[in-house]
Structure 1
Amino acid sequence: MSLSPIPPAVAAVAAVATAVTRRLPPLLVGSSIPSPSAERIALYTLGGRFVSFLLIYGLLLGVAVAVGSRRASTDGDGATALATGVVAAVAYLVASAALLVVLDPNRVLTNAVAGVGSAVGVGVQLAVVVFAGLALADRRQTGA
């Protein structure tokens, strides 16, 4: 079994970017700096979502395909996808917890439930992306 550490590392970066992107409007409105206009907040939010999209479906999928092309066997694909999902979920949960504590430290239970639910979703999403990239690399190698 060969577990590659590269997809989980990239997934951690993508998960943190996703956590920041999802909490960007409240961060901008709730911070001590002067609040930008609604158009600016929408522009920043859409820009952040585009960056998250590029990190997940561009960089992470590309890294998974590259790792899958260079491996000797497909024995570690499940472990790599699982590790990616767990690392992404933990990174997202830590980033979300930090941001939610800054935003509203009084609503601990609500923030915890929302954070855990979102973290599981992001972890599953990134694990599926990595597994798809590894499967694509395998399909390209076998010529099927």
Structure 2
Amino acid sequence: MSRALLPAAVAAVAAGTTAVTRRIAPILLESPVDLPATRVLSVYIAGGRFVSFALVYGLLLGVTYRLGRTGDDSPDGGTVALATGLVAAVAYLVVTAGTLLWLGPQQGAITALLAVGSSVGVGVKLAVVAFAGLALGRSRRPATAADA
């Protein structure tokens, strides 16, 4: 796998996790297991948000930072950010659609529009994080003889 595809793969995992975390309460309510206490549900939601945060701003930013610090053969930042954003938006939309279908097919058109809109938002957010990581990595590249 090309190193340029690594941020997109990480973004897909982060987007899928974010999609599940945003719907953890309805998932638990619709599942056949006994409902946890309200405090426990709050801990699950907060824990899921922390995992999403760590994946987006820890793993994705770290991977793109590392990619940006590599040599001159690293890909264009705009291309990597665009690919990362598109993959994230599609992954988020697929996971959201699967979750909504599992929760019940009676979800209306408004819910579908909200899912599409939030998937675009997640894609843009992850593209910005990827671009920022690449830019930061490139600004921190060690000096070479060609730079002098």
TM range (shorter): over 0.9
Q: Partner residue of 1:72?
A: 72
Q: State TM-score, norm by structure 2.
A: 0.90
CA distance in 1, matches of 2:82, 2:129: 11
Q: In the alignment, is the contact (CA less than 8 A) between 2:7 and 2:130 conserved in 1?
A: yes
Q: State TM-score, norm by structure 1.
A: 0.93
Q: Report how many aligned residue pairs link the two structures.
A: 142
Once the two structures are TM-superposed, the CA of residue 3 in structure 1 deviates from its matched residue by 7.6
CA distance in 2, matches of 1:141, 1:30: 50
Q: Partner residue of 1:39?
A: 39
SS in 2 for 1:4: helix
Overall identity of the aligned pairs, in %: 52
Which consecutive residues of structure 2, in runs of 5 or more, have no partner in the other structure?
144-148
Q: Partner residue of 1:25?
A: 25
Once the two structures are TM-superposed, the CA of residue 75 in structure 1 deviates from its matched residue by 5.5
Q: Partner residue of 2:110?
A: 110
Deviating more after overlay: 92-101 vs 65-74: 65-74
* 1:1-144 matched pairs, under 5 angstroms: 4-72=4-72, 76-141=76-141
Q: Where in structure 1 do 4 or more consecutive aligned residues deviate above 3 Å?
A: none
Which consecutive residues of structure 1, in runs of 5 or more, have no partner in the other structure?
none
CA distance in 1, matches of 2:29, 2:60: 31
Larger of the two Rg values belongs to structure: 2
Root-mean-square deviation over aligned CA pairs:
1.7
